[in-house]
Chains A and B, each alone.
Chain A
Amino acid sequence: MSASARRVPGETRARPNFIWRHLIEPYLYISPALVLIALVMVVPLVIGLSYAFQSVVLLRPSAGGWVGLANFAQLWGDARFWRALGNTFWWTFGTLVFQFAFGLGLALLLNTQFAGKRLVQALVFLPWAVPTFLTALTWSWLFNPVIGPLPHWLAALGILSEPFNILGDPALAMWGPITANVWFGIPFFAITLLAALQSIPGELYEAAEIDGATPWQAFVKITLPFLAPMIAITVMLRTIWIANFADLIFVMTGGGPANSTQILSSYIFTTAFRKLDFGYASALAIALLGLLLAYAVVLLALRRRFVRI
């Protein structure tokens, strides 16, 4: 053992074994984090996913057990699922389009100079701080013709034939929660897009102006390309969030009338916690998860293809 006889101070005392030093030891150091992540995320996810392949109905505890793809077969033939899926698209993209359009407009306005800018900025971001429950209640009252002004205004404008509650009309009910959600979600786009706008160097606009660009050309050729990364990421996040976000619908319409505002996530919630059928609810959730994952992949691919900054 001549090596140990000539030990120098500061020399490593770890075992000079390749497998130990490169394949085992590093993972021991990060194992606390890995264990924590596994406990908090992976384990519940796997258990939840496994429900989709079992019969888990709390009202019939004896009927449990693995059922293979039976839940998915039931889902394929479930008219309420397809209806909820259609409503989810309507709800998600109806909300997203208006939230984005108004949010971008607001961000562009807030990016100019005017007196009282700080105060207006603070006020604009207020809806974000209002609890969802309060938002939903307030809007459902606003749509109520007995106490709210909106039906009367809509009737006066000729949009409604008479002041009735649109939340009670299967053809129009979805617009109630969408309106509330638009109001609620504009600040998110305004904040994030304003931050992106403020990061665009002012000199680029001066250079473009000298190069001969009109304000519209500057917007299309400079502002939009700069905003593109932020737009891609916020639109993706918001889509997933809105598709999963059933609070407003739940408080304002409860999915009714006649399931006309039932979206997938509210259907999942109802299935799991009203009918206590966790197996089928989990199958529904996997369907939604699959759709959102596919959407995210497409959006990220588009982003990589078109965004050059």
Chain B
Amino acid sequence: MARMELSSLAKRYGQVEVLREIDLTIEDGEFVVLVGPSGCGKSTLLRMIAGLEPISGGELRIDGRRVNETAPRDRDIAMVFQSYALYPHMDVARNMGFSLEIRGKPETERRPRVAAAASTLSLEPLLARLPKALSGGQRQRVAMGRAIVRQPRAFLFDEPLSNLDAALRVDMRLEIARLHKRLAATMIYVTHDQVEAMTLADRIVVLNGGDVQQVGSPLDLYDRPANRFVAQFIGSPTMNILPVTLDDRGLPRLANGAAVPLEGLAPEGVAGRIAEIGLRPEHLVPGAAEGALVSGTADLVEHLGSDTNVYVRTEDYGTLVLRVHGHHPVRSGDALHLHARPGAVHAFDRDGLALPRRSR
């Protein structure tokens, strides 16, 4: 069990700064997801915690002890790799017991621990097989089993599900969630998939370009994104961004002259600063032409069954997305007048920072 403190952690390759001043405290037993687009430094950060990448600046402490210079094998952390990194010349049982074998634990101690982990992950029938005789999902479970057997202080996952097909990914996601519930161990999970991040995390750390954009619970990030990047990164389809202009009374107006409904925002923060508004697809509703924020033509209609995504071509804002229920009668070519759900508008200033919302 481990509490991790990252203070001003930095990573440089020569002149290139990959991570800048990362400050983060991960509580014992917490499930933290590092999420961001590719190249944002999330995997590098995870590898620094594992000890596979040297730390260029700042300090990493595990349970209060500085481990910057500690070798990976002395950090007592397990890691699950994207490619699973199973040892191809060892059968499943030996793969899972490898860390114990390395530490010179006798067979009599290894066998029950491997068996226990195997039963947790329903791997018993596969123990004698070589990795090449396993399917992707089975390999993934073996990789997790290898981590569990050690009973480490913390688990690191580096995009563990990205090589699996969609259905298996959902299964494994549940399995990881169950595992965390059962072990109550500290887990740090890297992904670019926001669904994995939203469903698994106690707290999400959104990274972009080597900086932490926001740290918070999944719903925090969804309801109160700190800036435009987080707002657009979390939520699918992505949030619509509409620039606004200020009229002579200083009130924000859209291109057709409609006033922006500001009821969800803290009024003192908005005045004079608002430059753009953000509207999630699920917060747009088609309605009457009168009082509509924006009007356009339905271009593409995607039926997902439970929902329908409608891509609306507008004159002033390009293509906007809205989400309606699965059997909504909208068709491609229909004229649509869009309204916002009350209190759902996000606002951003010129620098993309979110303007404060009313506390609920």
Interface residues, chain A, CB within 8 Å of chain B?
201, 203-204, 206-214, 217, 221-222, 225-226, 308-309
Contacts and interface: CB of A to CB of B under 8 A. Distances in A.
21 contacts: A203-B81, A203-B85, A206-B72, A206-B81, A207-B79, A207-B86, A208-B102, A209-B51, A210-B50, A210-B51, A210-B78, A211-B98, A211-B146, A212-B73, A212-B99, A212-B103, A217-B102, A221-B87, A221-B102, A222-B87, A308-B130
Contacts of A210: 50-52, 72-73, 77-79
Contacts of B146: 211
B89 interface: yes
A204 B85 CA distance: 5
A207 B88 CA distance: 12
Nearest to B50: A210
Contact of A201 (B72, B73, B85): B85
Contacts, number: 57
Nearest to B143: A207
Given A209-B71, A221-B98, 17 more contacts: A201-B83, A203-B85, A206-B52, A206-B72, A206-B81, A206-B85, A210-B50, A211-B73, A211-B99, A211-B150, A212-B73, A212-B102, A212-B103, A213-B73, A221-B102, A309-B88, A309-B89
A296 B99 CA distance: 37
A142 to B, nearest CB: 43
Contacts of A208: 87, 98, 102
**SS class, residues of chain A in contact with chain B:** helix
A226 B102 contact: no
B183 to A, nearest CB: 17
Interface residues of B, number: 23
A203 B150 CA distance: 19
A225 B146 CA distance: 20
Interface in B35-83: 50-52, 71-73, 77-79, 81, 83
Contacts of A221: 87, 98, 102
Given A209-B71, A211-B99, A214-B73, A225 B83 contact: no
Contacts of B85: 201, 203-204, 206-207
A226 B87 CA distance: 10
Contacts of B102: 208, 211-213, 217, 221
A208 to B, nearest CB: 8
Contacts of B87: 204, 207-208, 221-222
Interface string B75-114: 0011101010111110000000011001100000000000
Nearest to A228: B89
Nearest to A202: B85
B89 A226 contact: yes
A213 to B, nearest CB: 5
A201 B77 CA distance: 21
A305 to B, nearest CB: 14
Nearest to A213: B102
A136 B83 CA distance: 50
Nearest to A207: B85
Contacts of A212: 73, 99, 102-103
Contacts of A201: 83, 85
B103 to A, nearest CB: 6
Contacts of A226: 89
A62 B83 CA distance: 74
B78 to A, nearest CB: 7
Contacts of A217: 102
A225 B94 CA distance: 14
A308 B103 contact: no
A204 to B, nearest CB: 6
A84 B327 CA distance: 92
Nearest to B98: A211
B188 to A, nearest CB: 13
A241 to B, nearest CB: 28
